[in-house]
């Protein structure tokens, strides 16, 4: 997916509305910048333009130019953060950078598709969203080890999981099955690992204890180990006796759900339903995509990344041993426990508030953001610099027409949603997904 930084959009907006220069300071001063490139313009051309520091003690601060002499541009008031020194970068802009940033942020919100002309489809810019964090019937939190709540002396802590003993736990980005991370566990005592109690978290509020006894708990996942009998999946209902899955064969490769799976009958008198990922002392193992289920689940919370545009398509992992493979549309009765769901939809563009932050457009699409931002900027300037109000309102009107034309050429129409066969979205704010079982 193409992205463009705020700093690049600012440069495009500045160029489109009058002036842009990016330079490197070569002196030390609190109220000026020095760059031989400044000599390119006559003195009057730069007076009242703005210097924005983009590095150093005054990074992000801006001041208006009051005087220019040779290669030195002096601002009316010191930047306030100390000296600008050699190699600090800066930009010279036509308008107050704060107003330019506001205009860019507002434009990223208002380029959302809207009808441009009578009889035309709504066109604009939006972000295409894909989410693969839901698994059919899954009861485990943090099943794919993508979210990390904190770090400890022993390493990183994955959301939903707690340590057994004092293992060294870290997120792994180079050896993964699904998403961006896996869980790496290195142990110093026997046994150690991580665990999660689904009875107190996922089930207690929804299912009475006597409805669980005798049912089968299914657990499966992906395990990697370089030594045999070093890692496995376990379940306990009392904290002392365990049902154990098979040890990893130690083949220095991932073993998937066809091997690393465990079916356990839920016992009476249970005090917990604890799922453990165990590593034997002195070994390192990796876990990813660990899921667990008992009964069918029909209701799921839609991930926030798909607000407010909603879900347009729901697909299901075709082969449980290939999370990166083919996903097929979810149909009535086709959902299968343990399979990953892929939700597709659209959302509003990200609105970066730092120079390095990005929004989900390429530079061609960015032209529409720049045009819309110029319209917003001139409207603000018409109220803040009222001596030029008429001129600025005329500029705003011109850029409004430019933006309308660009919507037609670079904007996209809404993606049509699939018929909701096998699934539906709740009408209240589209935040619940129902799977037709």
The counts of H helices and E strands in the chain are: 7, 30
- Domain locations along the chain: 21-93, 95-137+296-437, 146-293
Per-residue confidence band for 429, with pLDDT thresholds at 50, 70 and 90: low
Output the CA–CA distances (angstroms, integers) from residue 156 to 72, 188, 274, 278, in the order listed: 50, 16, 20, 17
Per-residue confidence band for 206, with pLDDT thresholds at 50, 70 and 90: very low
Which tokens go with 327? 């996903």
Q: Are 423 and 435 in contact (CB under 8 A)?
A: yes
pTM for the model stands at 0.81
CATH topology of domain 21-93: Elongation Factor Tu (Ef-tu); domain 3 (2.40.30)
DSSP notation for 351-393:
---STT-EES--HHHHHHHHHHHHHHHHHHHHHHSGGGHHHHH
Give 12-23 pLDDT, tens digit per residue: 999 999 999 999
Q: How confident is the model over 128-149, as a mean pLDDT?
A: 94
Give 280-330 pLDDT, tens digit per residue: 999 999 999 999 999 999 999 999 888 877 899 999 999 999 999 999 999
Top-level CATH class of 146-293?
mainly beta
Residue count of the chain: 437
DSSP notation for 129-163:
EEEEEEETT---TTTT---EEEEETTEEEETT-EE
- Spatial CA neighbour of 202 closest among 149, 261, 143, 141: 141
Give 409-419 pLDDT, tens digit per residue: 999 887 777 88
Q: Please check the confidence at residue 153 and state whether its pLDDT lies above 60.
A: no
Beta partners for 192?
A: 279
Q: Do domains 21-93 and 146-293 have the same CATH topology?
A: no
Per-residue confidence band for 205, with pLDDT thresholds at 50, 70 and 90: very low
Exposed/middle/buried for 306, CB within 10 Å: 0-12, 13-18, 19+?
buried
Beta partners for 275?
A: 196, 235
Q: How confident is the model over 4-15, as a mean pLDDT?
A: 98
Give the HSE-up count for residue 175: Cα atoms under 13 Å, Cβ half-sphere: 19
With a CB cutoff of 8 Å and minimum separation 6, the contacts of 350 are: 108, 127, 357, 358, 359, 360
Q: What does the mean pLDDT of the chain come to?
A: 92
DSSP notation for 191-230:
SEEEEEEHIIIIITTTS-HHHHTTPEEEEEEEEEESSTTS
Q: How confident is the model over 72-89, as a mean pLDDT?
A: 97
Sign of the Cα torsion 305, 311, 313, 314 reads: positive
Give the percent of the chain with pLDDT over 70: 95
């Amino acid at each position: 997916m193409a992205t463009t930084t705020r700093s690049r959009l600012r440069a495009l907006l500045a160029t489109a509305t009058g002036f842009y220069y990016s330079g490197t300071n070569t002196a030390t001063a609190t109220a000026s910048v020095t760059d031989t490139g400044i000599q390119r313009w006559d003195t009057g051309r730069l007076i009242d333009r703005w210097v924005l520091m983009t590095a150093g003690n005054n990074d992000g601060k801006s001041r208006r130019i009051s005087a220019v002499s040779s290669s030195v541009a002096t601002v009316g008031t010191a930047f306030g953060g100390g000296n600008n020194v050699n190699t600090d970068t800066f930009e010279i802009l036509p308008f107050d950078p704060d107003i330019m940033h506001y205009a860019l942020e507002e434009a990223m919100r208002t380029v959302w598709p809207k009808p441009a002309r009578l009889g035309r489809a709504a066109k604009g810019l939006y972000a295409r969203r894909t989410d693969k964090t839901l698994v059919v019937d899954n009861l485990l939190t943090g099943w794919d080890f993508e979210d990390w709540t904190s770090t400890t002396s022993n390493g990183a802590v994955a959301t939903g999981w707690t340590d057994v003993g004092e293992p060294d736990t870290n997120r792994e980005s180079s050896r993964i099955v699904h998403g961006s991370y896996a869980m790496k566990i290195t142990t110093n005592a026997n046994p150690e690992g991580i665990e999660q109690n689904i009875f107190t978290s996922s089930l207690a509020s929804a299912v009475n204890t006597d409805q669980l006894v005798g049912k089968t708990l299914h657990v499966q996942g992906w395990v990697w180990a370089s030594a045999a009998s070093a890692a496995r999946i376990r379940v306990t209902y009392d904290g002392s006796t365990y049902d154990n899955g098979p040890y990893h064969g130690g083949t220095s490769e991932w073993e998937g759900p066809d091997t690393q799976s465990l079916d356990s009958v839920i016992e009476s008198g249970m005090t917990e339903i604890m799922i453990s990922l165990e590593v034997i002392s002195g070994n390192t193992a990796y876990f990813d995509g660990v899921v667990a289920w008992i009964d069918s689940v029909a209701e799921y919370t839609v991930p926030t990344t798909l607000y407010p545009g909603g879900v347009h398509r729901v697909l299901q992992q075709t082969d449980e041993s290939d999370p990166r493979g083919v996903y097929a549309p979810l149909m009535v009765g086709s959902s299968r426990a343990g399979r990953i769901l892929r939700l597709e939809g659209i959302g509003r563009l990200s609105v970066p508030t730092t120079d390095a932050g990005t929004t989900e457009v390429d530079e061609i699409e960015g032209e529409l953001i720049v045009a819309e931002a110029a319209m917003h900027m001139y409207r603000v300037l018409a109220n803040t610099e009222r001596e030029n109000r008429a001129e600025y309102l005329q500029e705003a009107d011109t850029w409004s027409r430019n933006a309308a034309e660009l919507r037609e050429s670079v904007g996209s129409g809404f993606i049509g949603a699939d018929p909701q066969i096998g699934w539906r979205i709740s009408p209240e704010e589209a935040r619940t997904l129902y799977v037709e079982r």
